[in-house]
Amino acid sequence: MSALHIHNTLTRKKEPFVPRAPGKASLYVCGPTVYDYFHIGNARTFTVFDLVVRWLGTLGYEVKYVRNITDIDDKIMDRARENGEPIEALTERMVQAFEVDCARLNLLKPDVEPRATRYIGPMLEMIETLETKGLAYRGANGDVYYSVRSFPEYGKLSRRNLDELRAGDRVAVDAAKRDPLDFALWKAAKPGEPRWSSVFGDGRPGWHIECSAMSCRELGAPIDIHGGGWDLQFPHHENEIAQSEGALGTRFVNYWMHAAFLNMDHEKMSKSLGNFFTARDVLDRLDPVQGGEQLRFFFVRGHYRNEVNYTQESLADAGNTLGSFYTTLREVAPGEIAAIDWSDPYAARFRDAMNDDFDTPIAFSVLHDLRGEVNRTRSTALAGLLKALGGTIGLLQQDPERFLQGGIELDVRALIDERNAAKKARNFARADEIRKHLESKEILLEDKPDGITEWRKK
Ligand code: AMP
Ligand code: ZN
């Protein structure tokens, strides 16, 4: 029987997964900065780690899964100012929206979702320890910096050479820092900015320290698995290692996992480049019953360490493939399965693929083979196995009939009823909103003289 192997970014090798405590796995994933809706690139990374959590559970581990929420940073402050709303109102709204969108994507809720602003105490404790150990210093501008040159292993995750980094033109020279690569642990308060009092004076934390403090507080070190998108290797995770290992004097993380980008036109999808679609926009344009699962399948049918390019066609293709699985499950009703028999050849191949650093392309090819066999043999037991294997990674759990029928018609009817009720109550704004919402999905409404509303596709 194969054992789980994970590609560790730190060693650039696949290593057997040996958790720090037998039977238990701890996982920390860098979560969203809540200043806006998240885009489908972010969603891919969160889905990849959702898969990791589910698979660890399938293997019998008791998993503790922590994903943080960054609720204080420059982007948040800027956006709140632009909107003319208090920071807390913006972040609260975005946290709510994040939860709704995650649920639409069928993402498991982490066991803990620490918010940065509620962990200022542990962050300050860590910064004070770093200062005591000579790894942090106070700059002339009131900020507190991490002294990169005092941590000899700096660069070990991203394999960067400090001298090359210093020579790079992206490193801004800053008079307050001893070394251009030093980074802020604590930022002195500026007028009008949120602030917390501390021995370093009033201020707010830097971004990197929050993940070190929250992950160590919630999981203890060493954490089994720490994950995030590819871009977080440097500087974010490099800095997390420097802070945590500098303060604790022990290893911070045993396995580092990084998910490759979702691209658009072969360029990283990102807010700053402006080439992004929010998860909610994409979901709104998909069928309400099928869309969440379609997007999940699109995200994970390629290997998580390979980039995926987003196009309408490839997303539609993922939907069609998923549809073919559901068609089989509609034709051959899946038998109830109490527990997967891992000695079954299909199950064993599927498990071997997933255990080989979550090799989903191979795992899905096994599901395709199994589907072919279900179609040939009409075996309800094998159909049950197909459904159960899909279930280990959050797929194929819907009622096939309902999935294949889709939700458009049901949804439209419910919305039309709601619109008519709104009109009756003279809530014309809501009625209009519903009409526009349907129009955005290419559905046109026609109010007939007899009071009946009909609809058609544009
Ligand atoms: P952010 O809110 O930008 O800090 O990103 C949240 C998570 O999404 C991080 O783990 C990022 O590495 C990840 N991420 C950002 N852009 C992409 C992308 N285009 N594809 C995949 N993951 C991404
Ligand atoms: Zn982080």
Q: What is the pLDDT of residue 169?
A: 54
Whether residue 202 is contained in a domain is answered as yes
Tens digits of per-residue pLDDT, 216-234? 999 999 999 999 999 999 9
Residues 313 and 215 in one domain: no
Contact 145, 139 (CB under 8 A): yes
Residues 55 and 203 in one domain: yes
pLDDT higher than threshold 60 for residue 410: no
- Hey, whose CA ends up nearest to atom 6 of ligand 1? 32
Which protein residues are within 6 Å of ligand 1, measured from CB? 30, 32-33, 41-42, 44-45, 228-229, 231-232, 261-262, 268-270
Whether residue 276 is contained in a domain is answered as no
Pocket test for ligand 1, best of 107, 231, 271 (most atoms within 8 A of CB): 231
Tens digits of per-residue pLDDT, 32-90? 999 999 999 999 999 999 999 999 999 999 999 999 999 999 999 999 999 999 999 99
Whether residue 269 is contained in a domain is answered as no
Q: Which ligand neighbours the alpha carbon of 47 most closely?
A: 1
- Hey, whose CA ends up nearest to atom 8 of ligand 1? 42
Pocket test for ligand 1, best of 36, 37, 42, 47 (most atoms within 8 A of CB): 42
Contact 113, 184 (CB under 8 A): no
Q: If you measure from the C-alpha of residue 48 to the centroid of ligand 1, how many angstroms do you get, rounded to a whole number?
A: 12
pLDDT higher than threshold 90 for residue 21: yes
326-345: b or e for each residue (b if 16 or more CB lie within 10 Å)? bebbbebebeebeebeeebe
Q: What is the pLDDT of residue 134?
A: 97
Contact 224, 25 (CB under 8 A): yes
Give CA–CA dist 43/68, Å, rounded: 15
Give CA–CA dist 271/256, Å, rounded: 25
Q: What is the pLDDT of residue 162?
A: 82
Q: Per the structure, how many domains does the chain have?
A: 3
- Hey, whose CA ends up nearest to atom 1 of ligand 1? 32
Name residue 386's amino acid.
L
Domain carrying residue 448: 407-457
Closest by alpha carbon to 253, among 262, 235, 240?
240
pLDDT higher than threshold 90 for residue 414: no
Mean pLDDT across the stretch 404-419? 80
User: Could you tell me the pLDDT band of residue 201, with boundaries at 50, 70 and 90?
Assistant: very high
| Beta-sheet pairing, 24-29 with 223-229 | parallel
- Hey, whose CA ends up nearest to atom 11 of ligand 1? 229
CATH of the domain at 362: 1.20.120.640
Residues 374 and 412 in one domain: no
Q: If you measure from the C-alpha of residue 37 to the centroid of ligand 2, how many angstroms do you get, rounded to a whole number?
A: 18
Whether residue 355 is contained in a domain is answered as yes
CATH of the domain at 156: 3.40.50.620
Give CA–CA dist 229/44, Å, rounded: 9
Residues 58 and 196 in one domain: yes
Residue 283, number of CB atoms within 10 A of its CB: 21
Residue 203 pairs in a beta bridge with: 188, 196
Residues 95 and 233 in one domain: yes
The pTM score is 0.89
Strand (E) or helix (H) holding 267: strand 267-268
Whether residue 267 is contained in a domain is answered as no
Lowest mean pLDDT segment, chosen from 221-235, 252-266, 404-418? 404-418
Give CA–CA dist 194/204, Å, rounded: 7
Edge-to-edge strand ranges of the sheet holding 253-259: 62-67, 24-29, 223-229, 253-259
Tell me the pLDDT of the chain averaged across its residues: 94
Residues 234 and 372 in one domain: no
Q: What is the pLDDT of residue 394?
A: 97
Q: What is the pLDDT of residue 173?
A: 66
Q: What is the pLDDT of residue 258?
A: 98
Residues 231 and 121 in one domain: yes
Tens digits of per-residue pLDDT, 438-449? 888 778 888 887
User: Could you tell me the pLDDT band of residue 2, with boundaries at 50, 70 and 90?
Assistant: confident
Is the backbone peptide bond immediately before 222 cis, with ω within 30 degrees of 0? yes
Residues 61 and 173 in one domain: yes
Whether residue 274 is contained in a domain is answered as no
Residues 411 and 389 in one domain: no
Pocket test for ligand 1, best of 45, 50, 79 (most atoms within 8 A of CB): 45
Whether residue 281 is contained in a domain is answered as no
pLDDT higher than threshold 60 for residue 419: yes
Contact 296, 394 (CB under 8 A): yes
Residues 164 and 253 in one domain: yes
Whether residue 163 is contained in a domain is answered as yes
Q: What is the pLDDT of residue 11?
A: 98
Give CA–CA dist 417/392, Å, rounded: 38
Residues 18 and 101 in one domain: yes
- The atom of ligand 1 lying closest to the CA of 269 is 19
Q: Where are the alpha helices (DSSP H) in 17-119?
A: 40-58, 74-83, 87-104
- Hey, whose CA ends up nearest to atom 12 of ligand 1? 229
Residues 66 and 91 in one domain: yes
